[in-house]
Amino acid sequence: MNDTLATGAIRRIAAVLALSVAGAAAADAQTLNAYSIWPENWARPMLQEFEAASGIKVNFLRFSSGEALARVIAEKNNPRVDVLFGGPVETFAAGVKEGVFEPYKPPSFAALPARFREANGQWVAIADDPLVFMTNAKFLKEHGLKAPASWDDLLNPAYRNMLQMADARTSGTAVTRIFSVMEVNGRDEEKGFAYMKKLRQNVQLYTKSGGGGTLPVGLGQAAGGIFFIVDALDTKAKGYDVEISFPREGIGTAAEGIALLKGAKNPDAGRKLIDWATSPAMQSLFAKHKINFVPAHPDVKTEPSLAAVLKDAKIFPIDDAYAQDNRKKFVARWIAEVLP
Amino acid sequence: MPAAARRTVRDPALAIAAAVVAALLAFFVLYPLVALLARVFLADGQLGIGLLLEVLGQPGHRAAFANSLLLATLVGVTGTALGFLFAFTAARAGLTVAWARFLDVATLLPLISPPFTTSISLIFSFGPRGLITHDLLGLKGVTIYGLSGTLAAETLTYFPIAYLTLRPVLSAMGNTLDEMAMSLGGSRRHLFRTVTLPLAVPGLANAFLLLFAASLADFATPLILAGNRFPVLPTEAYLQITGLFDLQGGAVLSFALLVPAVAVFLLQRYWVGRRQYVTVTGKAGPEGTAKGVSPAARAVLVALCLLVAAFILYLYALLIWASVVAAFGANHAFTLDHYRVIFTEGRKAIGDTLVIALLGMPLGGLYGVLVGYIVARGRFAGRQLLELAAMINYALPGTIVGIAYLIAFNDPPVALTGTALIIVACYVFRYSPTGIRATIAQLHQIDRSLEEASESLGAKGGTTFRRIVMPLILPAFFAGLGVVFIRSMTAISATIFLVSIDWTLITVRILENMTELALGPAAAFSVFVIVVVMVVTGLVNALLRRLRAGQEMPVAGMGGG
Q: For the complex shown, is ipTM > 0.90?
A: no
Report the length, in residues, of chain B. Answer: 561
Q: Is A14 an interface residue toward B (CB < 8 Å)?
A: no
Chain segment A271-321, per-residue pLDDT in tens: 999 999 999 989 999 988 889 899 999 999 888 888 888 888 999 988 878
Chain segment B2-51, per-residue pLDDT in tens: 444 444 445 677 888 889 999 999 999 999 999 888 888 887 777 778 88
**Total-model pTM:** 0.82
In contact, B247 and B404? CB cutoff 8 Å:
no
Nearest to A169 among B63, B244, B415 (CB): B244
Q: Could B421 and A62 be called an inter-chain contact, meaning their C-beta atoms sit closer than 8 Å? A: no
Kindly indicate whether the domain formed by A27-128+255-310 is annotated with CATH number 3.30.365.10: no
Kindly indicate whether the domain formed by A130-253+314-338 is annotated with CATH number 3.20.20.140: no
Chain segment A9-31, per-residue pLDDT in tens: 556 655 555 544 443 444 445 89
Tell me what pLDDT residue B550 has: 58
A26-to-A9, A19, A21, A260, A266 alpha-carbon distances in Å: 21, 10, 14, 21, 12
Searching chain B, which residue's CA lies closest to the CA of residue A327? B244
| Angle separating helix axes B147-183 and B97-112, nearest 10 degrees | 150
User: Is there a shared CATH topology between the A27-128+255-310 domain and the A130-253+314-338 domain?
Assistant: yes
Residue spans per domain, chain A: 27-128+255-310, 130-253+314-338
- Which helix (H) or strand (E) segment is B209 a member of? helix B197-217
- Count contacts between A and B (CB, < 8 Å): 154
Kindly indicate whether the domain formed by B1-41+351-503 is annotated with CATH number 1.10.3720.10: yes
SS3 B326: strand
Query: Does pLDDT of A83 surpass 60?
Result: yes
Residue spans per domain, chain B: 1-41+351-503, 57-335
Searching chain B, which residue's CA lies closest to the CA of residue A77? B411
Nearest to B355 among A2, A13, A205 (CB): A13
Q: How far is A153 from chain B (nearest CA, A)?
A: 19
Strands (E), B504-558: none
Query: Does pLDDT of B180 surpass 50?
Result: yes
pLDDT category of residue B449 using cuts at 50, 70 and 90: confident
Cite the DSSP H helix spans in B325-410.
337-344, 347-377, 383-395, 398-408
Mean pLDDT of the B237-259 span: 83
Tell me what pLDDT residue A23 has: 39
Chain segment B542-551, per-residue pLDDT in tens: 888 887 655 6
Query: Does pLDDT of A252 surpass 90?
Result: yes
pLDDT category of residue A202 using cuts at 50, 70 and 90: very high
Within 253-292 of A, beta carbons closer than 8 Å to B belong to none
Please identify, in words, the CATH class of the domain defined by B57-335: mainly alpha
Searching chain A, which residue's CA lies closest to the CA of residue B61? A340
Least confident of B54-58, B237-241, B282-286, B535-539: B282-286
pLDDT category of residue B278 using cuts at 50, 70 and 90: very low
In contact, A86 and A126? CB cutoff 8 Å:
yes
In contact, B422 and B502? CB cutoff 8 Å:
no
Does A145 or B515 have the greater pLDDT score? A145
Query: Does pLDDT of B383 surpass 90?
Result: no
pLDDT category of residue B248 using cuts at 50, 70 and 90: confident
